[in-house]
Structure 1
């Protein structure tokens, strides 16, 4: 039997295939997320765009799958959000922006915190949310063991994870920690630094693992020495402790795994009589709101948590309406923000 033909230039599906949400999006000239917003009668869609989508729906005689439509009719319009029991900037920002996106889509969010490294505790929280009949579950995952739990879940409702996973999945969304780390190190290499140390986050933290991997690979690409990374716990206190013992020599630079550890490291360097960037260039990661007001203002890697929150919500809606059309998302890019904590070696 021959395969049904793909949609033609008019956006219609080939013979023998019913239209899906991507056919509607192609014919209307919009994203599938916009089609989802129209189907669910959500705000923030221009009237002209809504009209184009509705015309495409009518032309293609599109309707969500019967299973998905049945699920829609049983919706409680609530989503369970499982967050790690920590106050770190990244997970907190993801949770906040997901809440904003869910509210814009007229969903309530039931938020529960659990120990970030305890899969059994996470599973108990998930079971509790299932008893509340939520429409989907979103997890902000920071630990390797918890990610393995998430991959093993087989629930009757969609489960979406925000996690820095090197192995992609249609139900995992992320920001590209690996390329962000490479960008940070490349900036230091371009300034002439040949010895670049790394103060990393916890060994079992997904973000830390990806940033260490990016740091190593960028150094290897330039054939530079790869010293042993030093592991902290994301806190300013651990940055201060590690900064107090760093082997600082002329021309050295430090890539720090997050901005809060960088705050502690900068304090430790000042106490040692070292000036940034005269004696050592420093790059952080996250671009916390305070980063531009440190002394000196911090060069760092910015993450787009607002867009990530929106993508998580869009993923939930697609998983409910068109689960067979789910695809892997490319991790969101980061951006280097250059301030005054780095300078060229010859300056």
Structure 2
């Protein structure tokens, strides 16, 4: 096999594979720099993936292209120098090395999100595959899959981009979408800033699915729009108890009973649809409960273990307690 040139995977529309014959890959030959110092590429061509041509698959991945044994153009393998420059050990492509036994998450179809658009049809819709799971009540739920239009999340300011993340909300078994604050496209979207902002906006009952990068003026979503697969394949058990302070949107759903001991501080929003019992262990006689918050919305019964409910007694910020039912003291058997 003879090497002819080094190219990058993907065409100008962000596609890597042919929509009909997915063993054929789009490759653009790297042709040096133009007068402004920008990388020049040749027109994208479709070439086969050689049987012996081990390489990483991703938009912009550099590969060596040449003639296969039968004289057809093919990807002969990864470009060694490019992998070293990218900080990737070329040894990961050695199939005989036990350290390379990995599975791409794209091979796991459950709850997989993917672009609806193809080479002939532009679309800002993304699809999510069906999923069977147990919700926060331990009930078995079936999500049948659906498509979501992300048109409304495309940034409005010229040159800006944003991170848009799909979630499965276990409360009503539907897809919800949250977006980071749009910013200049020259500033890279990150896990520590943009993804953290999106996660803070999401409900604690939302399962993350996938992040998509959207740019101002974008009219279609392709593989190159992917930020990351966020399905929680590796997860840790939820810590027992109720969080304090509550700094994000937190909901006690219908059918759920939570108990908190001590002073509960809310700087985000707390909605109680089920039952929240707050016990002040430090003052069992006075049975005082202090909540620091701008707004606490209660749509069902909020129970405390004393006859008095003290809102924001020690804070300088005025709190508002809105309820649709009366506060119901829990009888702890003590005299007041």
Q: TM-score, normalised by structure 2?
A: 0.24
* Structure whose residues are more often helix by fraction: 1
Higher relative contact order (CA 8 A, sep 6+): 1
Larger Rg: 2
Q: Larger strand proportion, structure 1 or 2?
A: 2
